[in-house]
């Protein structure tokens, strides 16, 4: 294991980080649902989920103050937009059907590959188009959609679509500008996700009411270790992938969320999981792993040549 970690390259590490982030996205619904049951409705649950990691990693701003001063503000936009995208994605589920939110958000591989083509002159090759098709087919099979293209019809739809576009822009900005570290981008990711979610909570306070802050005493027992062991590593993994990979590739790797969510929902709830869902999970997994597997096999061939 130690030898594997020593020999792993930046690209391979970014791929593993993105896969890890996708897995955690797939279980994101579990702590959010637990927070809602504890008394934090809608955006308040998303705010608490992000605010605790934001507080825990806030010392990064002191440790990286020289970097912040030298970077000014423009190179910081990538991490900020990542947090905004995360908040919009979470909020979209409040205003539209879950299926539509996921479908519209995960049009992100298209935006990511398009930005990679425009900004980096990185071609959208036929295998990449094939991976996109596999991903969309798998997503449609798992979610059971037969409504055709999910064109935006309400505010939640636009939030979901906008969150995918926003994260694609965040990814390309973090990739092309090396002045800001993963640590600073990660701190901004959590901070702005919490700020946007909290702002939405204040905007909606007339309809959802104020959160039950007294419930924090009960949830902190499990939320704190979860934040340290899961949420914070996943947040920095979410940033590390885009720092090293084409944003379209990152988006395909993130699609693993759908597969993991379908499996965990079937295990922990009464959600069905049959042959149709297994086929969809297989297609999504193939879409996400196609390019990393191809690169791995090419690397092995070059070493043996």
Indicate the domain borders of the chain: 10-124+149-257
What's residue 5's pLDDT?
Answer: 38
pLDDT at 109 over 80: yes
pLDDT at 24 over 50: yes
Average pLDDT, the chain: 82
Average pLDDT over residues 14-42: 87
pLDDT at 214 over 80: yes
Q: Look at 56-65, 75-84, 125-134, 271-280 and tell me which has the smallest mean pLDDT.
A: 271-280
Q: Are 98 and 157 in contact (CB under 8 A)?
A: no
Average pLDDT over residues 281-294: 75
What's residue 274's pLDDT?
Answer: 73
**What percent of the chain clears pLDDT 70, i.e. is strictly above it?**
88
Each residue's pLDDT tens digit, 8-17: 567 778 888 9
Model confidence pTM above 0.75 = yes
Average pLDDT over residues 277-295: 75
pLDDT at 234 over 90: yes
**Cα angle at 260 between 97 and 171, to 5 degrees?**
80
Query: CA 144, CA 131: separation in Å to the nearest integer?
Result: 20
Pick the residue with more confidence: 287 or 225? 225
pLDDT at 242 over 60: yes
Q: Look at 20-29, 68-77, 124-133, 232-241 and tell me which has the smallest mean pLDDT.
A: 68-77
Each residue's pLDDT tens digit, 176-206: 887 888 999 999 999 999 999 999 999 988 8
pLDDT at 48 over 80: yes
What's residue 146's pLDDT?
Answer: 55
């Amino acid at each position: 294991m130690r030898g594997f970690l020593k020999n792993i390259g930046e690209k391979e590490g970014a791929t593993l980080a993105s896969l890890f982030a996708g897995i955690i996205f797939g279980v994101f619904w579990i702590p959010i649902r637990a927070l809602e049951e504890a008394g934090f409705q809608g955006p308040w649950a998303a705010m608490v989920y992000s605010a605790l990691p934001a507080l825990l990693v806030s010392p990064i701003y002191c440790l990286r103050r020289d970097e912040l001063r030298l970077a000014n503000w423009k190179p910081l936009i990538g991490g900020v937009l990542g947090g905004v995208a995360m908040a919009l994605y979470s909020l979209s589920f409040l205003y539209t059907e879950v299926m539509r939110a996921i479908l519209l958000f995960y049009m992100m591989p298209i935006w990511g590959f398009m930005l990679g083509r425009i900004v980096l002159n990185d071609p959208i090759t036929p295998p990449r188009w094939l991976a996109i098709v596999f991903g969309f087919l798998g997503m449609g099979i798992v979610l059971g959609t037969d409504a055709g293209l999910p064109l935006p019809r309400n505010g939640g739809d636009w939030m979901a679509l906008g969150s995918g576009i926003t994260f694609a822009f965040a990814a390309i900005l973090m990739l092309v500008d090396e002045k800001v570290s993963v640590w600073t981008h990660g701190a901004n990711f959590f901070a702005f996700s919490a700020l946007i979610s909290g702002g939405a909570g204040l905007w909606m306070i007339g309809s959802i009411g104020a959160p039950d802050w007294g419930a924090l005493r009960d949830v902190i027992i499990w939320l704190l270790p979860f934040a340290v062991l899961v949420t914070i590593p996943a947040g920095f993994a979410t940033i590390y992938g885009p720092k090293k990979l084409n944003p379209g590739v990152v988006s395909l790797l993130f699609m693993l969320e759908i597969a993991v969510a379908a499996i965990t929902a079937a295990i922990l709830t009464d959600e069905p999981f049959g042959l149709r869902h297994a086929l969809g999970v297989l297609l999504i997994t193939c879409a996400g792993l196609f390019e990393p597997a191809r690169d791995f096999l090419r690397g092995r061939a070059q070493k043996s040549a």
